[in-house]
Structure 1
């Protein structure tokens, strides 16, 4: 989700209140920052006036007749000359230029933090001319940063509860025997000891449920509220996270057979360069699979059926070389009721009878879209517990056991598992929403706020603040739980750029420190990557050095390469839907889009530069000849907004992709951007051309589930809540879901005039033969990638020394990429030998609508032959690719990727 990728819709933030004149609404805003134990920062100059801190434990502060009243404590602050200290500005760079006000040493700061607070500027005559409430994360980090136990901790004879809630006035734990309803069996009063609230309960309460009641001042209501919430460190939950389940994840009853040996049974990964990723939504995988029993369709258990159509397909991908499955959010999220009995559904039999361009399908789907079983899950409620709606029973320990069985089953067919983590925002905030957890327990701390104290919403809604100590700690603790207790193999970070770089680095270090001996996990094999977009309030390091693409070079953390995506497909997901790219017909086979007189041939050449940089793993220092035949480095090639194309310093820092769950599918984009008159066979070839380009690039290739099936969502640009109908997968390969009605109105209506005639035209719909050919071609790309380590070079130096682009400069054949990869000979000075089979590879990507010839003196007199896998392919066109050694001439069919190899003698 990003400015270059659409994500799921979240509730819109409430409009900001106006501050008005004078003090009328001043306490509704938090324009001052309490940054450490003795220092408050405020962007006002008090001059000859006095500054005071006011506190009320009963939340009685109010502004009356230009004065603050209702306080129980009033403390005069001393203006501190010289501005804010360097350590404060490093933590809060956005308050550069604020004045510093110091509290007297006698102030009881810890008691004050449990009160409603305000600061005011008072003139010598007693008139208060300015006032505001305070933001507290700085002082809470200074006094209450905590590294001890949190959540429910099990010992031999009791269970200890620990809750971090430093601003709370009182905390109770209500104990229940049932997941919902009923009166509490007991109410425990927690005691505040060593920075946390704690209580003990008997060990036989394991299997019971609890919820916290936290009495705390909440800045959104200006009242002391009694907030009811589950434990942020929950290990188990009742349905819809209403209560926390007292469960010990180390219990033997929760472990599938062989669970403790799983680390030794996982498919081996010798280098992160060997990774390839396939993105999959849990419900999509089996909801439409007729080989899966209805009672487990769409859930964790569907992955345990080794003979289902979906698992057979995943096994084929694995056997061809695919290494990792990336699962869309699996944690407890909002938007889908955990109780399946409450779901509503549409009748597929009725929808199947409607015209392919009808408006009726989307009307029926959207009528129940918030009451069905579908949502992508980018609506976090509690991060550390598997989602209940995917389990056979959302209450009790089922979700824990079944999630573990899913991981185990995927590992057993040779696939490691990456989970999608969404630490950049939360679904809800405030003291009343059932989905609000963290903001009930420590109001104003976990969520990032602007200079007025209003919550930032650039990451959908309710942005979190990893620059705060306990937010970062919660993120890292959560990652360790998924790694140790669920044995996942990697993490994909949603809107990673909204997290701080130090958070990502500490997370990487914590994961890397895990060992089989101590934790049952090999942390060195856990790969992390994410969306490194730089936008919103964190852009350009305004909140500290953030984890965006340009800041991550040299970290070993991967980020999505949107440059290659946009160059291949054309424009961006927020550009005009007809804007073409390298694969979709730019200059070579134009559609009706008006480029305003721009030189389309030049646009195509620049797009090729961007792609070639991406194929060289988007390395900053990679040197090649660009479209002007100038020798340039990757970072010197610029995007349309003058941003460097390349940002990586090692190949595993680049995740190359052209489609993901966000935006239209690859087939849909191609169907929209290519001229309406070309054949469906041509579109299918372009679909394969695009996936082959990613699959044969250096760096880590990433594919959206269904890229290989010509998957369609009927041109839906954001199917996060479009139900099973628009998100269907068919592993029987009978259909690709094209033409199942106009996509939902909310995100697509403005494009309906373009979409409708395409869906209505039967010539756009692929046949089963097209789908089967696409699957076969995709499997062959994987097989070719894993046939030689030269496609998976491990260092930037190896790529610079071995990878060359040949068809470059002003005389280059438009729409043709020619990449060679050279190996060394054992015992011969120069390049070391990496591949025992092949000495030289040539990859030719012909996006042209016609057969193309290309000759190069540097490729003459080589013993090149078409790759054996392509020679055995069912694709007759690719088998007609040819090479003449005497002239160094290649003949490549239209819309084809051909790979030639030179065997070692």
Structure 2
């Protein structure tokens, strides 16, 4: 009898049709250019070499197939450095900008090495491409595939997490530094990190000089397939490839998914005045959206716009996404200024854009999380209408409405209720579930949570633009003093407001996203546009972990509750109707006096009764009823528990006016409400009670 043998572990590697493909005895180089008249491969021996050690000409008859130039070079191994050069028409009026002297980065390069080199001959020398051996021992690692409805996202900057001396790590500011801080990330209760751009972007400018302002955030892509070399600890060409994979593997082992912030809307080549370092010198008129055949359309606000709905560019984006998913085990993507993907080759917004639909329907990306920043710099705002149910969106409406309510803005009561319940006004009409809403109150772009309650105005002088940069519409407040203060009353209100917003965020239907450092009251000193602050203004200050341990504990209690309670992460929208045979609706809204809420009132206090979900969403019966009492007024208020809650035993879960540890009861064992069923809620505060478990 033949015994069935266990199959050896298989690892799927995505093979790309372009770029430098390492083979047994050499390397195959393939690059697209429709209009080039000749193509050259430049090979270098060392990172700092100004001139190539060898130049190999592509044979137009033998090495060109259609619009693809492809050549096999024997003897080239992992770590080989190279550029391309392309000759062709210089005809800017018709979109051609070929420069036979330009050193060009391979659009499909898997890694870059070095930086821009200054030279007197006027030739731009960008970082060199690296031939990569993609072999890596994943040790059985696979995608975690957390359901998006159960996801808690932590937006994080790789360098910023450990660059400060306070991090006390061996490999600061690097992928390996992230690994050293995984125990902390685990302690937060998050399920995913959303990494700010890790694709290659410029460290130095094309003149070889230090940038006037550091490109800290990294929203200026240079090579979409390459991990950023600046975050590698090792100095050998290609170190970033191995170290990035080590980071992903370690995060997965800790149960944390990895989502990449990708920028498929522009490149660092800029407009007509920008350098030619890659796409411009290979096929400018295809890679970019041009006006009148020559001028760069600037829907990104960064000088140019990638032509994402051209078939060639569309193909590149798909290869890139698959490359990161299968060769780096990345779990998802957040698409920066994603509305640009809804523009055609002429820049017009189009219904049912093919690029957006194809990403959602790509079978190789079927288990990948896809999140859109559903607007662009040219006025497109598509929150609630971007793609189908596969697409989630950064919900900018959520941010603004929650900020406005807790600041005390009039007319925001109904908006808060809608956002708390999952933003059905934006998503239900299109058949999209609550998890299509990525709820956030702060992001990398804007005030931190601490600064949101500390400053009325932005303070961006450190950016060197006379405080002109950054958004002026912050929906923030300082509660009497601009900036830090010793006034106890002001400090008390600020502390409550941070807890109010954090609790609202983590207990709303939809998917919460928190910015790294908000859980410990990180400050950027009022800077709401720290894109160029590669300094302690932006870096994670690890001293705050101990200093603000009470806030950290509060945050951890909220994430624990969210992970355990299906009541706050439903698969379907709340309806206001009874569910699963119970007589009470899934959600009810009340005034503080216990009567049904009058949505026309101008009061800023309300009570929300959220019932446990049905057996469909909660087959194990783990869900609990919640009573949430919101008071964003400046006066203490009394709330009467609704009659429908009679007979249910309640325990206090959250009291944002409480002094730690009485601000949150992570084990849901807080005090019961008074026998009078009248609960006092302090000004600018939130109280939440949860029902004790009962068997079905």
Using structure 1 for the length normalisation, give the TM-score: 0.62
Match of 1:507 in 2: 359
Measured after TM superposition, the shift of residue 161 of structure 1 is 1.4
Q: Check conservation: 1:878, 1:896, Cα contact below 8 A.
A: no
CA distance in 2, matches of 1:534, 1:208: 38
Query: Which of 640, 649, 659 is the aligned partner of 1:855?
Result: 640
Structure 2 partner of 1:380? 221
Residue 383 of structure 2 aligns with which residue? 549
For 1:832 and 1:414, locate their aligned partners in 2 and report how far apart those are by CA, in whole Å: 23
Query: Could you say what secondary structure the match of 1:794 adopts?
Result: coil
Query: Post-superposition shift, 1:785?
Result: 1.2
Q: 2:179 matched to which residue of 1?
A: 304
**2:272 and 2:295 in contact (8 A); partners too:** no
- 1:336 is displaced (CA, Å) by 5.2
Aligned to 2:159: 283
CA apart distance, 1:694: 0.8
CA contact (8 A) 1:430 1:440 kept: no
Partner of 2:571: 794
Rounded to whole Å, the distance in 1 between the matches of 2:637 and 2:226 is: 54
2:587 pairs with 799, 803, 817, which one?
Answer: 803
Shift of the 799–562 alpha-carbon distance from structure 1 to 2, 3 Å rule, reads farther
What SS does the corresponding residue of 1:711 show, helix, strand or coil?
A: coil
| Alignment of 1:615 onto 2:423 | no
Query: Is 1:233 aligned with 2:108?
Result: yes
| Counterpart contact for 2:103–2:277, Cα < 8 Å | no
The question of whether the paired residues in 2 share the 8 Å contact of 1:438 and 1:446 is answered with: yes
What do residues 802-848 of structure 1 show as CA deviations (whole Å, max 9, x unaligned)? 3343343157682234322223677xxxx775452344222223323
The reply to whether residue 274 of structure 1 matches residue 150 of structure 2 is: yes
Distance in 2 separating the partners of 1:852 and 1:709: 29
Provide the residue aligned with 1:845 in structure 2. Answer: 630
In the alignment, the residues of structure 1 paired with residue 589 and residue 277 of structure 2 have an alpha-carbon distance, to the nearest angstrom, of 53
Count of aligned residue pairs for this structure pair: 606
Does the C-alpha gap of structure 1 residues 232 and 708 become closer, same or farther in structure 2, counting only changes over 3 Å? same
Deviations 1:275-322 (A, max 9, x none): 11010111110011435346x2111111222xxxx444212113xxx1
Question: 1:756 aligns to what?
Answer: none
Take 1:491 and 1:675, find their aligned partners in 2: how far apart are those partners?
A: 37
Distance 1:653 1:687, change over 3 A: same
Equivalent residue number for residue 676 of structure 1: 480
Q: Is the Cα–Cα contact under 8 Å of residues 308 and 314 in structure 2 kept in the other structure?
A: yes
- Residues 896 and 215 of structure 1, relative CA distance in 2, 3 Å threshold: same
* 1:436 CA displacement: 3.2
Q: Aligned residue for 1:18?
A: none
The residue that corresponds to 2:406 in the other structure is 583
Contact 1:237 1:395 in 2 (8 A): no
Structure 1 residues 238-272: Cα deviation after superposition (integer angstroms, max 9, x where no partner): 223522111131x2xxx2x5x14110xx5562x21
SS of 2:252's equivalent in the other structure is helix
Whole-Å Cα distance in 1 between the matches of residues 378 and 154 of structure 2? Answer: 29
Bigger shift: residues 159-168 or 235-244: 235-244
Q: 1:172 deviation in Å?
A: 0.8
Preserved contact between residue 273 and residue 699 of structure 1 (Cα < 8 Å): yes
Match in the other structure for 1:780: 557
| 1:215 is the counterpart of 2:87 | yes
Q: Verify the 8 A CA contact 2:16 2:319 in the aligned structure 1.
A: no
1:52-131 alignment to 2 at 5 Å?
none
Residues 189 and 199, structure 1, Cα contact 8 Å, conserved in 2: no
Aligned to 1:174: 42
How has the CA–CA distance of structure 1 residues 842 and 658 changed in structure 2, closer, same or farther, with 3 Å as cutoff? Answer: same
- 1:234-249 residue pairs with structure 2 within 5 A? 234-240=109-115, 242-249=127-134
What is the aligned counterpart of 1:688 among 489, 492, 499? 499
1:184-199 aligned at under 5 Å gives the runs 184-190=52-58, 191-199=63-71
Partners in 1 of 2:156 and 2:555 — Cα distance?
16
- CA shift, 1:700, in A, is 0.5
SS state at 1:173 partner: strand
Q: CA deviation at 1:331?
A: 0.8
Deviations 1:754-777 (A, max 9, x none): xxxxxxxxxxxxxx3xx2221111
Match of 2:603 in 1: 814
- Gap change, CA 1:223 and 1:182, over 3 Å in 2: closer
Change (3 A) 1:793 1:838: closer
Contact kept, 8 Å, 1:381 with 1:435, in 2: the verdict is: no
Name the residue aligned to 2:447: 664
Q: What is the CA-CA distance between 1:343 and the residue it aligns to?
A: 10
Q: Which residue of 1 aligns with 2:12?
A: none
Task: Identify the residue that residue 630 of structure 1 maps to in structure 2.
Answer: none
Whole-angstrom CA distance in 2 between matches of 1:731 and 1:272: 29
Between the aligned partners of 2:187 and 2:165, the Cα distance in structure 1 is: 17
Which residue does the alignment assign to 2:20? 152
SS at match of 2:425: coil
Residue 419 of structure 1 is matched in structure 2 by 260
1:858, distance to aligned residue in structure 2 (A): 4.4
Unaligned runs of 5+ in 2: 1-14, 116-125, 343-352, 456-476, 482-488, 580-585, 592-596
Are 2:516 and 1:705 equivalent residues in the alignment?
Answer: yes
Following the alignment from structure 1 to structure 2, what is the Cα–Cα distance between the partners of residues 434 and 177?
25
After TM superposition, give the deviation of residue 464 of structure 1 in Å: 0.8
Q: CA-to-partner distance for each residue in 1:874-895, whole Å, 9 max, x for gaps?
A: 34356787635765x4333333
SS of residue in 2 equivalent to 1:314: helix
Question: SS state of the match for residue 614, structure 1?
Answer: helix
Q: Secondary structure at the match of 1:180?
A: coil
Offset at residue 454 of structure 1 (A): 1.2
Q: Does 2:188 align with 1:317?
A: yes
**Is 1:176–1:185's contact at 8 Å kept on the other side of the alignment?**
yes
Q: Structure 2 residue aligned with 1:725, among 514, 536, 549?
A: 536
Distance 1:833 1:476, change over 3 A: closer
Contact 1:329–1:421 at 8 Å: present in 2 too?
A: yes
Picking from 140, 151, 159, the partner of 1:261 is 140
- Tell me the residue number matched to 2:118: none
Q: Secondary structure at the match of 1:733?
A: helix
User: Is the Cα–Cα contact under 8 Å of residues 657 and 694 in structure 1 kept in the other structure?
Assistant: yes
Contact kept in structure 2, 1:214 and 1:440, CA below 8 Å: yes
Note if contact 1:430-1:436 (Cα within 8 Å) is conserved in structure 2. no
Question: 2: distance between equivalents of 1:617 and 1:427?
Answer: 37
Partner of residue 326, structure 2:
484
Q: Is the 8 A contact 1:178 1:209 kept in 2?
A: yes
Q: Tell me the distance in 2 between the aligned counterparts of 1:496 and 1:313.
A: 31
| Contact 1:279/1:704 (<8 A) preserved | yes
Query: Mind listing any 5+ residue stretches in structure 1 that lack a counterpart?
Result: 1-146, 345-367, 515-522, 541-547, 570-580, 587-603, 623-633, 636-646, 736-767
- The structure 2 residue matched to 1:899, chosen from 678, 684, 688, is 688
Is the 2:653–2:664 Cα contact (8 Å) retained in structure 1?
no
More helix by share: 1
Distance 1:311 1:690 in 2: 26
Query: Residue 452 and residue 474 in structure 1: after superposition, are their counterparts in 2 closer, same or farther (change >3 A)?
Result: closer
Report the CA distance shift for 1:553/1:798 in structure 2 as closer, same or farther (over 3 A). farther
CA separation in 2, counterparts of 1:621 and 1:420? 23
CA contact (8 A) 2:360 2:388 kept: no
Shift of 1:230: 1.5
Of the three residues 542, 564, 567, the one matched with 2:398 is 564
Per-residue CA shift, 1:382-432, capped at 9, x if unaligned? 111011111124541211011111112222222111111000111114799
CA offsets per residue over residues 467-524 of structure 1, 9 Å max, x none? 11111111111111111111111111110111134223322333xx34xxxxxxxx54
Q: CA separation of 1:869/1:465 partners in 2, compared to 1, >3 Å: closer, same or farther?
A: same
